[in-house]
């Protein structure tokens, strides 16, 4: 609808310390729509939970011909107004005080505009072009990939509503940087204080961008913007078609691990410019902003991206194979200890993300696992299986390249059947068993066995065996109760693993343990007092449940936990070495 009169949005912030944006929407005469439904989004694409942003709207006024128009509140996010086809102006305020990648924010130092938490959509007019005018305080800068109208600095155009809300705007006195790669301009906006070496962050971004561009054969945009917020704590990232937002712990750059975390977050969100923004499930754009958009492919869009972020860093030279394998062993130990990892299929974990992963009940850890985490291991397994089938020459990167050419570049949505077909084409082998067992089934992922085939040595040791140099510590690591505790001062039970000693003793969620063998405990000492006893010994637990003091006994068993290590096997066979080299060093 290129010739249609656009919807005009204006955002002012005359009192930043109030944390309220003043928003105005001018709707042109829509002769075919005498009754308008104004809808406020309930969620932000890329963050799969209903958040009901309309709860932050205040002072809503709807006028036509300078007169207030009556409107009907239909539900929590929809207002209905009889416009009689005439122009309408909608004005309101939005309270914005949550610092996250998915919500708008305003204070006296900066503003962050993300359209799903700021802008009404006009139902039925989502394809109409949009104009955005931002009125910042004096001296504040603007960073966005929305194209500016000619001769202006604060007025921008968007092809439609989806385009408008998919391009965030950073406003304030942030630092701005830019570089070019492959004909594309990359911009960086960093807001907030940090003890990071900015030049190093900039250099790492260039290498991540370069490695990803090599994988896909170029970039699908002329401009791309990294918005980086430095906060007291990490807050994750959110992808957009031509930008991403990264919330990092600004003063946490105290070691190399901090730079690695930054690199991983950047690589992950940048990879999403392809996987999920362009290589995507049918339901993930255009979006229904009124509620859940169910997909069974989040394991692919998020979990496989979680895996590919490390592959990108390996190819960019920001991560060595040795360091990667060390991290991989530590991560596998965590995953292999998840009691719910083989209960719910990956495809179902994706579908239920809206109501389970992001609104977890107390038993979530025993019945499910994150599709990010399990999806990462499913991706690694598929990559190595493809490497074996092709003597190390092709793997998961080639699957993504093929899907980009066949679907993403052409704007065609992807299905699980087409993902399987692309993988089978790359490996020239049937993968029906892989998808039925590990995507739609609950079979244990045989990662250690396949890593041995990929030329690695794989070792699993009990916690006690891993501490052989300290006999006292090794002895104290032998016992296991099957408990985990919530963060805080008190020893409050977070989870009890099914069929563990604690489970059989009748302990459950939210019990507060106050004594072990009559010795008072808190969050910092409960583990120590349990470790005083050996496997086979009975421990007396005193605890509060709903303000009633209770006592039970449990018999410790030998710890089933394992610490894993993966390393390059120098005596691996030639076929296994070829698999390993293709996996760790080649695209």
Amino acid 364: pLDDT? 97
pLDDT surpasses 90 at 361? yes
Is the pLDDT at 2 greater than 70? The verdict is no
Do 66 and 135 fall into the same domain? yes
Domain boundary among 115, 147, 172: 172
Banded model confidence at residue 100, pLDDT cuts 50, 70, 90: very high
What's residue 467's pLDDT? 86
Whether 276 is in a domain gets the answer no
**Which of 145, 198, 207, 196 minimizes the C-alpha distance to 175?**
198
Q: Residue 485 forms beta bridges with which residues?
A: 493
Taking all residues of the chain, what is their mean pLDDT, rounded to a whole number? 97
Examine the domain organization and report whether 210 and 262 are in the same domain.
yes
Say if residue 151 is in the same domain as residue 220: no
The domain boundary residue, chosen from 230, 250, 271: 271
Residues 18 and 123 both lie in one domain: yes
Question: In this predicted model, what pLDDT tens digit does every residue of 150-167 receive, in sequence order?
Answer: 999 899 999 999 999 999
Residue range 446-474: mean pLDDT, rounded: 94
Q: What is the largest CA-CA distance in the chain?
A: 84
Q: In the chain, pLDDT over 90 holds for what percent of residues? A: 96
Inter-residue contact 366 to 339 (CB < 8 Å): yes
- Quote the pTM value: 0.96
* CATH number (domain holding residue 107): 2.60.40.3650
pLDDT tens track for 122-151 = 999 999 999 999 999 999 999 999 999 999
Q: Is residue 311 part of a domain?
A: no
The number of residues making up the chain comes to 587
Predicted local confidence at residue 51, as pLDDT:
96
Q: Which structure tokens are listed for 154?
A: 């604060």
Note down the domain range covering 536: 471-558
What CATH number corresponds to the domain at position 517? 2.30.42.10
Q: State both tokens at 576.
A: 């296994």
Q: Which tokens belong to 204?
A: 């790492």
At 269 the three-state DSSP class reads helix
Q: Among residues 420, 453, 486, which one ends one of the domains?
A: 453
- Summarize pLDDT for 248-276 with one digit per residue, the tens: 999 999 999 999 999 999 999 999 999 99
Residue 525 lies in a domain: yes
Structurally, the chain folds into a number of domains equal to 4
Residue 410: pLDDT over 80:
yes
Q: What percent of the chain has pLDDT over 70?
A: 99
Whether residue 253 is contained in a domain is answered as yes
Does 239 map to a domain?
yes
pLDDT higher than threshold 90 for residue 232? yes
235: domain CATH number is 1.10.390.10
Residue-wise pLDDT tens digits, 30-61: 999 999 999 999 999 999 999 999 999 999 99
The residue-averaged pLDDT of 180-193 equals 97
Spatial distance between the Cα atoms of 156 and 431, rounded to a whole number of angstroms = 47
Vertex 95: Cα angle to 358 and 118 (nearest 5): 75
Q: Do 448 and 476 have their domain in common?
A: no
In a domain, 465, yes or no: no
For residue 280, being part of any structural domain is answered with no
Residue 139 and residue 36 in one domain: yes
Sequential DSSP letters for 21-51: EEEEEEE---TT-SEEEEE--S-BTTB-S--
**Pair (156, 83) in one structural domain:** yes
Per-residue confidence band for 223, with pLDDT thresholds at 50, 70 and 90:
very high
Whether 244 has a pLDDT exceeding 90, the answer reads yes
What local confidence, expressed as pLDDT, does residue 1 receive? 44
Assign 3-class secondary structure to 475-508: HHCCEECCEEECCCCCEEEEEECCCCHHHHCCCC
For residues 433 and 552, state if they share a domain: no
């Amino acid at each position: 609808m290129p010739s249609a009169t656009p919807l005009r949005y204006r955002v002012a912030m005359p009192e930043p310390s109030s944390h309220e944006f003043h928003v105005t929407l001018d709707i042109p005469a829509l002769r075919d729509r005498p009754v308008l439904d104004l809808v406020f989004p309930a969620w932000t694409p890329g963050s799969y939970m209903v958040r009901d942003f309309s709860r932050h709207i205040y002072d809503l006024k709807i006028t036509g011909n300078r007169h207030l128009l009556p409107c009907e509140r239909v539900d929590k996010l929809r207002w209905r107004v009889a416009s009689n086809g005439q122009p309408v102006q909608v004005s309101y305020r939005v309270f914005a005080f949550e610092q996250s990648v998915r919500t708008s924010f305003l204070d006296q130092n900066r503003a962050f505009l993300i359209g799903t938490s700021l802008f009404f959509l006009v139902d039925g007019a989502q394809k109409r072009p949009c104009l955005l005018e931002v009125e910042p305080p004096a001296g504040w800068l603007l960073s966005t990939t929305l194209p500016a109208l000619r001769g202006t600095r604060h007025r921008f155009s968007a092809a439609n509503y989806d385009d408008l809300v998919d391009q965030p705007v950073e406003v304030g006195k942030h630092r701005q940087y830019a570089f070019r790669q492959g004909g594309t301009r990359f911009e960086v906006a960093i807001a907030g204080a940090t003890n990071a070496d900015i030049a190093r962050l900039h250099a790492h971004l260039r290498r991540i961008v370069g490695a990803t561009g090599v994988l896909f054969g170029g970039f699908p945009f002329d401009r791309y913007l990294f918005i980086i917020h430095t906060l007291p704590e990490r807050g994750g990232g959110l992808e957009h078609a031509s930008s991403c937002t990264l919330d990092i712990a600004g003063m946490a750059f105290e070691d190399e691990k901090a730079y690695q975390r930054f690199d991983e977050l950047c690589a992950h969100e940048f990879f999403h410019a392809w996987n999920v923004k362009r290589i995507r499930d049918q339901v993930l754009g255009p979006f229904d902003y009124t509620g859940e958009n169910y997909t069974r492919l989040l394991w692919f869009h998020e979990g496989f991206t979680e895996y590919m972020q490390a592959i990108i860093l390996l190819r960019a030279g920001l991560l060595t194979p040795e360091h990667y394998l060390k991290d991989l062993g530590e991560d596998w130990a965590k995953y292999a200890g998840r009691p719910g990892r083989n209960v719910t299929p990956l495809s179902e974990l994706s579908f239920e993300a809206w109501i389970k992963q992001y609104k977890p009940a107390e038993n979530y850890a025993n019945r499910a696992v994150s599709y990010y985490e399990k999806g990462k291991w499913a991706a690694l397994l598929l990559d190595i299986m493809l490497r074996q089938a092709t003597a190390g020459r092709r793997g998961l990167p080639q699957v993504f390249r093929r899907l980009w050419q066949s679907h993403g570049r052409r704007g065609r949505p992807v299905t699980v059947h087409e993902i399987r077909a692309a993988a089978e084409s790359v490996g020239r082998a049937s993968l029906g068993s892989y998808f039925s067992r590990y995507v739609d089934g609950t079979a244990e992922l045989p990662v250690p066995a396949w890593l041995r085939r990929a030329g690695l040595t794989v070792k699993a040791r009990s916690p006690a065996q891993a501490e052989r140099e300290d006999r006292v510590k090794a002895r104290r690591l032998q016992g296991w109760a099957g408990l985990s505790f919530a963060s805080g001062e008190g020893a409050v039970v977070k989870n009890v693993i099914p069929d563990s000693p604690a489970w059989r003793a009748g302990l459950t969620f939210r019990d507060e343990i106050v004594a072990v063998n009559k010795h008072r405990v808190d969050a910092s000492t409960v583990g120590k007092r349990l470790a005083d006893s050996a496997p086979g010994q009975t421990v007396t637990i005193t605890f509060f449940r709903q303000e009633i003091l209770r006592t039970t006994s449990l018999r410790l068993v030998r710890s089933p936990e394992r610490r894993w290590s993966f390393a390059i096997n120098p005596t691996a066979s030639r076929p296994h070495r070829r698999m390993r080299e293709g996996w760790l060093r080649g695209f």
